[in-house]
Structure formats: C-alpha cells, structure tokens
Amino acid sequence: MNLKLTTLAAAFAVTAAMAQDNAAAPAPAQNAAQAEVAAPAEQAAPAEQVAPAPAPAPAPAPVAKPAEPAVAEAPAAEQPVDSNAAFFDVLRARAYNNVANQAAASTVGDVLGTPYMMAGRKFVYLEPTNSFAAVAFGTGLTKFIAFDNSENLGFTTVGLAGKSFGVALSYALGKAYTSSETTNPNTKTTVDQYTVSAGDRVDLTAAFPIGGLDLTIYGSWRTYQTEVNSTTETKSANNSTKDERDPDYWSITGGAMITNGPSAKNISWLAGIFVNRWENYTERKYKDKANPDNNVSTKVTGTSANTTITPEFNIGGTILSGEKSRVLLGLNTYAPLTFYDKIKEKPEFEDDDVNKDEYFTMDINTAPNIFAELGLGNCWMVFGGASYVWSLFSMNNEEFIRDYNDKDNKQTTKNMSISTRTGTVTVSAGSRFQYKNFALEASIANNFYNNPLTGFNGGNMIANLGGFLNF
C-alpha cells in the first residue's frame, strides 16, 4: 500500500476519534488557542459585518409587523456580506487555496511572503509531502524560521516581525572551490576552479502596513544553472599561458506589491510590479605570452538572456455567504513584457556577425478562479476551487540579420505572431480538521479523481498534507 495513503488514513482515523470526544467543543473561531494564530485582527471582517443588522422598526409600529426588517435587508442579497470571515480566516496550510484567490484566508506561504503578518503568531507547521516546515515563536518581536527543498538545496528563511514591520532573509547555498598544482622539470601547471550549484539563492523581503494598506518589497539573486569558473595557468622557462573561463547563469529579481489586506472587507486586491534580469553568457580569456597571435577574448551571449517587466493585479471577493459557508470569485492578471539581448556573434560562424534586433514578447494573461469552503460542525472544514489561465493576448516579434561580410548576401528574417488561448481548467479539493490547538489540512491530487485506487499501485493520492500545532 502506498505509504502516503496509509499515513493519511491513520491521521484522519485518529482525528475523527478525537472529534467524537469533542462534540461540545466551541467553534474554531472562538477557541482561544486558535485565535492566537488567526489572521491579524485588521484583516478580519469588522464586527458589524458578522451579521447584517436589520433596520429598526418605527417606534409607533405595532408588534405585529416583524416582516419589515426582512424587506430592509433585501439589498444585502445583491451585495453579500462575508459574515463568516472570522470563522474561515485562521492561518491555513499550503494545501489551501490552490487557485490563489485574493480574498481567501492567508496560508503559511502568504505570511512568510509578507513578514509583518507573522507578528504575534506561535506555531509549528510540518508538511511532509513537500519537505517543508515552519515555526514562529517569541514575545515582543516574533521570530520565525522555515525550511524547504524548493531549490534542490536546503532553502532556509529566517526573520523578525512586529506589528508595524517585518523582514525575512532566505538563502540556499551551493558553492565549492578547488585548487590543484602539477609540477615537472619543465613546467608548472595550476588549476583553480570555483563552482556555484544550480539553486544557489539569496532573497530579502520587507513588509509593513501603511494605513489600510500593506506594502511588500522583494529582491532575489538566484543561480539557475550550475556555473564552473576555472583558471588554468602553465609556466615554463620560455613561456606562460593563462586560460580563464567564466560562465554566468543567474537571474536577479526585484519588485514591490501593495494590497488592501488590513482594511479589506468583501473585496480584496493586490497590485504589484516585478523586474527580472536573466543573464546567460560565457566568457573566455586566453593569453599566450610567447605567441600573442594565439590570444583569445570572447563573450558569447546565450539566446535566453533577457530583461522582463511584469505588472500584476489580483482581485477577489465574496459572492455567496451562508451559515458557515462562502463562495469567492477572483481574477488574477499579469502582463510580462520581455526584451531579449542582441546577439552579435555565434560560435558556428567564425567570421560572420549575427545580430538579433527588436526581439521581444508581450503577454497579457488572466486567471479567473472560483473558491468555496464549508464548515462541518466544530472540527471539520472542506474547501475546493477551480481556475484556468487565459492568454488574452500574446505577441512575439523577432528580427534576425545575418551578415556574411558581403552586402549582396546579407539576409534579414522577420517573424511576428499574435495569439489568444484559453487554457485547461484545474479543479482541486481538500479538507481541514482542527481540535483544540491542533490542525491538519490536506488536498487531493488530480490523479485520484481519475483513479481512486491510485494509492494502491504506486501513485500519489495526496497532493499536499500539512499540520499545525498552535500555541
């Protein structure tokens, strides 16, 4: 039997037994231990929105006119109030909100990405399906630490959070230096090598509230492909040579986001912009002291080198709200504009220049999404969502010029394409069990719906499973 299936079955069997002993337990939003790790108070719906107050009846009206308040409440059906925000907006696992609806409750990943939202929280979170863990602790300033394997290296986040400011530093390190020396009666050869592994990365995030808004500033440096930098130097009585090779395969990203999170009621939004530089080139310098004609100095730019500017805007809100249930509708939009570097030389043409001019792509993508959740009793919640990506507009514009040092043979090629396309729909579902200061959340993998017995034949039934212990 698949080990993950066995683990999940055992976990939910134990939690179901605990739920029977807790039939009279208070609602999750009322539990003091859980309230301590709930989303910050400024993000919850104001108290007056917990249930719409009926319009007061006129003083002289007879007691037999109870129907009038219902008439006064009729407009609320067209503009639903999320009366269950306090019930759902506790800190959630990363299995929750796979469709990224902007109005849904915050997950562990969300609060790590907006560090000041960690203030006042005390919990440990473990997610065995994705090798992820996080802990928050301390009085006064909250300290937090998170581990994961997202870069195939140990990726660590450490940070501090207060009510007015939060900062987080994340890093994954993969660096190595080696040196060797070979000596014989005629020559001495030294080889130095410096390697940076793919996934080597440093991120810095700062966030703070500004009135009814919050601002997050983010920066990241990441090596996306292993770099091997080497220097080989050979010395003899009559000559010396030095061969240096320096590849650069890194990307640097900077951006800022602003949201109405602290003051959001039924509508939540986020606006942001990110700039990314994707570097891809190899450089070689070869020096031959006795034979200068052999000297080489080249820098070859890869075709993927580019600069991308991406504005984004997300919006979401409640469209239906009932007793311990709600439905959220959202739209996430982003529009990357990418400018590729000009390529002046290609190694396959020794004497020919190849220029790639005015090569850029422009896209406008939007992802409509639906997210629903329902509370079952005092211990259980179920949730699910659906979304797809619609490429509203996509344009590629390329111009290649190949110059064979002969004007009569100069060749220019121009390509342009424009398209629009709706992607396929993805639907996910999951559940949450909570008992006192313990919570367990899981989502189900898509292949389970196609084959419910997948867990018995080596398939992965659980897409994500994470649990909290709150303090």
Q: Please give the pLDDT value at position 323.
A: 85
Does pLDDT of 47 surpass 50? Answer: no
Which candidate, 286, 282, 281, places its Cα nearest to that of 244? Answer: 286
Query: 157-168: per-residue pLDDT in tens?
Result: 999 999 999 999
Cα distances (angstroms) measured from residue 226 to each of 223, 298, 448: 7, 20, 36
CA pair distance 241, 291, nearest whole angstrom = 9
Q: pTM, whole model, 2 decimals?
A: 0.77
Residue-averaged pLDDT of the chain = 81
Tens of pLDDT, residue by residue over 53-80, are: 444 444 443 433 343 333 334 344 445 5
Check residue 49 and give its pLDDT: 36
- In which residue are the tokens 């940070």 written? 159
Residue 46, pLDDT > 90, answer no
Is the pLDDT at 447 greater than 60? The verdict is no
Q: Which amino acid is at 319?
A: I
The whole-number pLDDT of residue 180 equals: 96
Residue type, 243: D
pLDDT per residue as tens digits for the range 256-277: 999 998 899 889 999 999 999 9
Distant-in-sequence, close-in-space partners of 463: CB < 8 Å, separation ≥ 6: 95, 98, 129, 428, 443, 444, 445, 446
For the cut 80, the answer to whether the pLDDT of residue 39 exceeds it is: no
* pLDDT tier for residue 89 given thresholds of 50, 70 and 90: confident
Residue carrying the six token digits 């002046």: 344
Give the DSSP per-residue string, 145-182.
Answer: EEEE-TTSS-EEEEEEE-SS-EEEEEEE--EEEEEEEE
CA distance 84 to 87: 5
Q: What confidence category does residue 400 fall into, taking pLDDT thresholds of 50, 70 and 90?
A: confident
> Looking at residue 183, what DSSP letter applies?
E
Backbone angles phi, psi at 269, to 5 degrees: -145, 160
Q: Which residues pair with 220 in a beta bridge?
A: 203, 253
- At 303 the pLDDT is 86
* SS3 of residue 239 by DSSP: coil
Closest CA to 206 of 198, 196, 214, 217: 217
Q: 399 or 115: which carries more pLDDT confidence? A: 115
In the chain, % of residues over pLDDT 70: 74
Between 374 and 74, the more confident residue is 374
pLDDT-derived band at 462 (thresholds 50, 70, 90) equals low
Strand partners, 383: 373, 430
In the chain, where the domains are located: 3-50+69-470
Q: Report whether pLDDT(431) > 80.
A: yes
84 band by pLDDT with thresholds 50, 70 and 90:
low
Task: For residue 406, name the pLDDT band (cuts at 50, 70, 90).
Answer: low
Residue 271 is predicted with a pLDDT of 98
Cβ-in-10-Å burial (0-12, 13-18, 19+) of 108 comes to buried
Q: Are 398 and 412 in contact (CB under 8 A)?
A: no
**Rounded to whole angstroms, what are the CA distances from 202 to 116, 153, 255, 302, 469?**
20, 12, 15, 24, 29
- R_g (Cα) of the chain, nearest Å: 29
Say which range, 26-30, 192-196, 449-453, has the weakest mean pLDDT: 26-30
pLDDT band (50, 70, 90) for residue 359: confident
Express each pLDDT in 316-334 by its tens digit. 999 999 889 999 999 999 9
Residue 4: the pLDDT is 43
Highest mean pLDDT range out of 112-116, 342-346, 405-409?
A: 112-116
Confidence at residue 440, expressed as pLDDT on a 0 to 100 scale? 96
Contact of 424 with 389, CB cutoff 8 Å: no
Condensed to tens digits (0 to 9), the pLDDT of residues 277-308 reads 999 999 999 999 999 999 999 988 888 999 99
Nearest CA among 110, 137, 108 for reference residue 125 = 108
* DSSP-derived secondary structure for 350-383: SS-EEEEEEEEEEEEEEEEEEEEEEEETTTEEEE
Among candidate residues 18, 108, 137, the one with its CA nearest the CA of residue 434: 18
Close Cβ partners of 246 (under 8 Å, ≥ 6 residues apart): 229, 282, 283, 284
Distance CA 104, CA 370 (A): 10
One-character DSSP codes across 263-280: G-SSEEEEEEEEEEEEEE
How sure is the predictor about 342, in pLDDT bands with cuts at 50, 70 and 90?
confident
When pLDDT is cut at 50, 70 and 90, the band that residue 177 belongs to is: very high
H or E stretch covering 87: helix 85-88
